[in-house]
Structures are given as C-alpha cells and as structure tokens.
Structure 1
Amino acid sequence: MLVPISVVAAAILAAWPALVAYEVKKLEKPKYRVVKTLLGKKNKVEIRTYEPYVVAEYEAKEGTDMDNALSGGFRAIAGYIFARDQPETTKQKIAMTSPVRLEMEGGEKHKVSFVMPSKYNKDNLPPCNNQEVNIREVGETTVAALTFSGSRRSITPKTIHDKKNRILDVLRENDLTGDPETVMVYQYHPPFTLGFLRKNEVLLKVQETTR
C-alpha cells in the first residue's frame, strides 16, 4: 500500500530537528579538558581549560542590542567563511564549526565569533575583505561553564544574567572567583532547533583555580 505524500512529508518534518541536532554533534568544536566539576546547591558547573584557537570575530557598535549584534555578526562572518568576502585569488570556503560565540562586556559591548577549524592558524587563513570581521587568536583560557537547553528566543539578556549569577554562586561556594564583567554565551545549534534539543552555555573566566 502506498503511503500518502502528506504522511511522508509530515514524518520528514518531524524527524528534521533531530537530524539537524545529530549533524551538529559532528561539527568540530574547540578542544578543552575538564579541570573539575563543581556541584552547587542547585547547579552543576564545569571548570574547563580550553586549548588556543582562532576565531573570526565581529564587534557590534556599542549600544547595539544582543539580537541585532547576533544577526549582524552572523551575516558578516558567514560572508567570510562562505568565501563571498575573500579576495578572488585566495578564495576558499571554510567549514562550519560549533558553537557560535557571543561575548558580552558590561552589557553594552557585544562580540560575535565563529571558531575556525583547527587546521587553520592566523597566518594560513584566507584574508577577509570585510573590515568588520577580525581574525583573532584566543589563548589558553580557563572558564566556568553552565550548560542548559532552550530555544533561541529563550536566550535573553535576563536569562544570561541569571545563569551568570548561578555560576558566581557555585564558584563562591567552592572558594573560586569568576570575572563577572565579560560573559560568554555559546550556542551549539541553529535557531530553528527545538528547544529541548538545543545546547547552550554561559561561561565566565575563572580568576583563581587549581589545575
């Protein structure tokens, strides 16, 4: 018996978010080691040390809100990695990685960045014609990370502020100090991914830790 096209289409649509989530898991991500796991009264926080990596970064104008910074940054960096904003003589598409990084400084400055694949360094990446995109090396960094699920719309400044405070609480409970001025937000999945499948993280640099 033939299955109606509408049933097949519905099945594909239902399976699509899970398939996307699975494919994202296979994308290259920055390497890190877990130094320790901290169990707070309500939350679990990982202390991680990330290996150095390179990012393509977009800095929004001061005062730009988070959503506009993310959309502007995504467009600008996508133009670079898909080779639209590269010189004709050196054009090469750059593989997607995960996560999309957002750095928030004092609530007024927003930097959006994509991590470059590990085969690249600052010297062998193709140049970028867009002056809004900066190629930058990120050195070894120790952070405190709180992982949570949620849709793109649920990632609001209030949500991030709440997660930041939860991290700071756990750090204090463990006699550690985090930097509250620079908050990093990692989003691992596309915006259309269902919230319960979507991995997000808020991270703070750790000022004192035992390695």
Structure 2
Amino acid sequence: MLRKKDNIRVVLVEDHGIFVEGLNTVFQKIPGVEVAAAFNKGEEALNYLQQHGADIVFLDISLPGQLSGIDICQAIHRTRRKTKVIALSNHTEKHIINDMLNSGANGYLLKNASLQDLENAIAQVLQGQFVMSDEVRGIIFSPSGIPKKLPRLTAREKEVLHWISEGLTTQQMADKLFISIQTVESHRYNLLQKFEVPNAVTLIKKAIGLGLIKVDEEQ
C-alpha cells in the first residue's frame, strides 16, 4: 500500500512513555516506515523538525510544557507545509477536534487505532487525503446550528465536493470526471474560497454542517 522509495520518516509527539513504546513496536511492523524521533514536549519536537523535517507527525493534544498539540500543529502548518500531521488522542470533545482540524491537521485518530488503521492513515495522508476514526467522524459531522449562508456552486463544483468527501485524490477525480488535474485543482481552490476555509478537512465539515453533503448514519 505504501509506495515510496525512501523510508517514510515519522515523528511521535506523546508524553506517555509506554504508549510511545507501543507505537514504536506497531510501526516496526509497517514496511517502509521509520520512527525517526519521539518527543514528550512540543518545543523539542518543533526544534527537531526545523532541522531535520519529517514526512508525518503523530501528535497528541495534551502535552507538558507551554505548547499544546494544537499550538504545535499550527506551528508545523506554518513552517513545514509538506509535513503531514495526524492527531492521535483520546480527546473526543467536538470543539477540541474542530480546533485541531482548523489548525491544519491532516487527520484525527483515537488512541485505540489498530495497526491497519495507522497504516491506512499514513498511506492516505501522503496521497493528500484526510483521515478520521469512525467515532471522530460521527462527532465532527453531527449537525450543529442553523446554516448562515449557502455558497453558490456550479454543477462541476458540486461533483468535486462530493468526491473530495469520498476521499478521492486529485488524480482519481480527474480520471473519474474526465478532466485535467489542473481543472480539478482549480475547482478545489474555488471551493475553498467559496466556503472560506483553509483546507479540505474543514471544507467537508462545513459542507456537511450546511447540509450540502449527506452523512450515512449507519457507518
């Protein structure tokens, strides 16, 4: 599933040593994945990333020190745009999940994630998709509030919005809709502008809140 010539460099930011040991054991079972470093404080992780970088950071939210996982995610999003961030937390409060996603996280998993969940998450975020645990998806996509304003979308933008919500990559959407990758990217950009959101995660969250995307409650 993972296709990359060099090892995928993963950094762990987690203050529970036993959980870090468990993650190390799990990641050793995923071919092509290397745990490059692990930190229990966000400040140390940011210093490391500035010098060495990483492909993916698995980030807890509650950490010792002055910086929370949300602060760290924002800093990574500003300074290491190519680094993907996946929250790995026990927090299921909707406002915390929202804050993490709005800070630029590429996914949100709970700590009960399986080896297969982690492997799938790595593959998907490296392809430009976002990932969530089923429980997190149910929390974040639950209806809340009354829509303020419905963006006016073209028929093609509605199609692209649908396929983004299904997790398709830009290439997959181009193939399915018989349009160029550049055209798909243009529609994605227009959607972000019309919904006034920074990324695909918050785009889908807002579209569902506005009733523009239906969620299968049986999932």
TM-score, normalising length: structure 2 = 0.22
Structure of greater relative contact order (alpha carbons < 8 Å, 6+ residues apart):
1
Answer with 1 or 2: which has the greater Rg. 1
Decide which structure has greater helix share.
2
